[in-house]
Amino acid sequence: MTNLNELLITTNYHCVDRFPFWSPGGTKIVFESSRDSNKKVYVIKLD
């Protein structure tokens, strides 16, 4: 997948996850989330 518009981030949290980006090496996805009522940046390693 090269188009992040096709990406759907699913979590067990009731929050807004948005602005996904590939890491420079293409092994992780970085996104903003409003978990715990605070906006933070999260990094997910792709397996």
- pLDDT tens string 23-40: 898 899 899 988 777 899
**Alpha-carbon span 26 to 47, nearest angstrom:** 11
- Does residue 37 sit within a domain? yes
- Does residue 34 sit within a domain? yes
**Alpha-carbon span 23 to 36, nearest angstrom:** 24
- Does residue 40 sit within a domain? yes
Answer whether 20's CB lies under 8 Å from 9's CB: yes
- Does residue 23 sit within a domain? yes
Task: Quote the domain boundaries for residue 28.
Answer: 12-45
What local confidence, expressed as pLDDT, does residue 3 receive? 56
**Alpha-carbon span 41 to 35, nearest angstrom:** 10
Instruction: Identify which has the larger pLDDT, 20 or 10.
Output: 20
Query: Domain count of the chain?
Result: 1
Mean pLDDT of the chain: 79
What local confidence, expressed as pLDDT, does residue 15 receive? 78
- Does residue 41 sit within a domain? yes
Banded pLDDT at 43 (limits 50, 70, 90): very high
- Does residue 5 sit within a domain? no
Q: Which residue has the tokens 């518009």?
A: 5
